[in-house]
């Protein structure tokens, strides 16, 4: 009888801990935009290749160095988004956000640009080029995993990469739109691969 009571108590404690964990996760307010299994909630544009491999989202050029994009089917306005990724170089990609069209969007870049010198975390806006530039390549792990955080609230845009803030600007080009990824064209980027392990979003 005592053993049975102890088993019941242990099970009750385990259920309580699991419940607390779920409550904590919900309280944090973050949602997974990529489920780690398939492309549910996403749509493609262009001819790049997008697929899930070993629980990661992978993007590469298509046939004949074809470019393309991958976007959420939902749109978002104010949020904090966290991306965990790695890249295979040479690479010219990035995290689109508040994307409405090729002319109206923002991108936290994943690249190595020469003129002007700019590295991953640089904030790009079509028609305005770079709104803020990361000039410090030492904060990027070229071979391993990196974390980009973007906070967009009203016209205030902030970007961090691996804990270092690289953008803090005000701009009103677009106040809402889709989140996504880009694969750039060109044979010089043929070996490019963007690998996404996690993409979390918290509405603000």
CATH of residue 145: 2.60.120.560
In a shared domain, residues 15 and 84: no
In a shared domain, residues 37 and 12: no
Q: Is the pLDDT of residue 180 over 70?
A: yes
Three-class secondary structure of residue 74 per DSSP:
coil
* 6-63 pLDDT tens trace: 444 444 444 443 444 333 344 589 999 999 999 999 999 999 999 999 999 999 999 9
- Asked whether the beta carbons of 106 and 174 are under 8 A apart, the reply is yes
- The whole-number average pLDDT for the span 143-155 is 98
pLDDT at 4 (0 to 100)? 54
In a shared domain, residues 6 and 105: no
| Residue range of the domain that includes 55 | 33-203
pTM for this predicted structure: 0.86
In a shared domain, residues 11 and 39: no
In a shared domain, residues 106 and 124: yes
In a shared domain, residues 12 and 94: no
Q: In sequence order, what DSSP letters do the residues of 111-127 get, joined into one string? A: EEEETTEEEEEEEEETT
Number of domains in the chain: 2
In a shared domain, residues 74 and 97: yes
Q: Is the pLDDT of residue 204 over 50?
A: yes
pLDDT at 196 (0 to 100)? 98
Q: How far apart are CA 178 and CA 184, in angstroms?
A: 18
**Beta bridge mates, 158:** 151, 168
In a shared domain, residues 90 and 163: yes
What b/e sequence results for 122-138 when a residue is b if at least 16 CB atoms lie within 10 Å of its CB, and e otherwise? bbbbeeeeebbbbeeee
């Amino acid at each position: 009888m005592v053993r049975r009571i102890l088993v019941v108590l242990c099970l009750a404690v385990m259920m309580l801990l699991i419940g607390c964990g779920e409550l904590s996760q919900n309280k944090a307010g973050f949602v997974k935009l990529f489920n780690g299994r398939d492309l549910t909630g996403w749509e493609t544009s262009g001819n790049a290749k997008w697929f899930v491999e070993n629980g990661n989202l992978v993007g590469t050029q298509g046939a004949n160095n074809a470019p393309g994009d991958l976007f959420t089917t939902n749109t978002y306005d104010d949020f904090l988004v966290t991306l965990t990724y790695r890249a295979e170089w040479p690479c010219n990609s990035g995290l689109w956000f508040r994307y409405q069209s090729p002319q109206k969007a923002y991108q936290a870049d994943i690249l190595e640009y020469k003129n002007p010198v700019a590295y991953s975390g640089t904030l790009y806006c079509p028609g305005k080029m770079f709104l803020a530039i990361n000039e410090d390549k030492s904060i990027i792990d070229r071979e391993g995993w990196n974390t980009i955080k973007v906070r967009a609230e009203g016209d205030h845009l902030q970007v961090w990469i691996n804990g270092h803030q690289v953008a803090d600007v005000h701009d009103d080009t677009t106040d809402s739109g889709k989140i996504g990824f880009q694969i750039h064209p060109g044979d010089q980027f043929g070996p490019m691969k963007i690998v996404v392990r996690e993409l979390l979003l918290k509405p603000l």
